[in-house]
């Protein structure tokens, strides 16, 4: 297994150690989660490019409607239900 050094403020490191946290395990999980997030974004970008090729670009009105929907309380409540 590779050994790496990370830099963090002394007080943060001290608090982590006093709390019994494994900084190494947290860092591993954080890197793994970030790689997963980036892979999902790449998949989404590829899918959106396919849709644009198939259906054409979205209009300003469609983007405005999507922004309004994403900012609505209905969208937030749907997201909470899916994550529960």
3-state secondary structure 15-77: HHHHCCCCHHHHHHHHHHHHHHHHHHHHHHHHHHHHHHHHHCCCCHHHHHHHHHHHCCHHHHH
What pLDDT, on the 0 to 100 scale, is given for residue 70? 86
Average pLDDT per block of 10 residues along the chain, 84 residues long: 94 96 96 97 97 95 92 73 69
């Amino acid at each position: 297994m590779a050994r790496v050094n990370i830099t963090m403020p002394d007080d943060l490191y001290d608090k982590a150690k006093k709390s019994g946290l494994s900084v190494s395990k947290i860092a591993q999980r954080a890197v793994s989660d970030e790689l997963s997030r980036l892979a999902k974004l790449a998949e989404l970008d590829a899918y959106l490019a396919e849709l644009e090729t198939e259906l054409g670009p979205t209009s300003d009105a469609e983007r405005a409607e999507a922004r309004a929907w994403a900012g609505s309380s209905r969208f937030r409540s749907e997201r909470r239900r899916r994550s529960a």
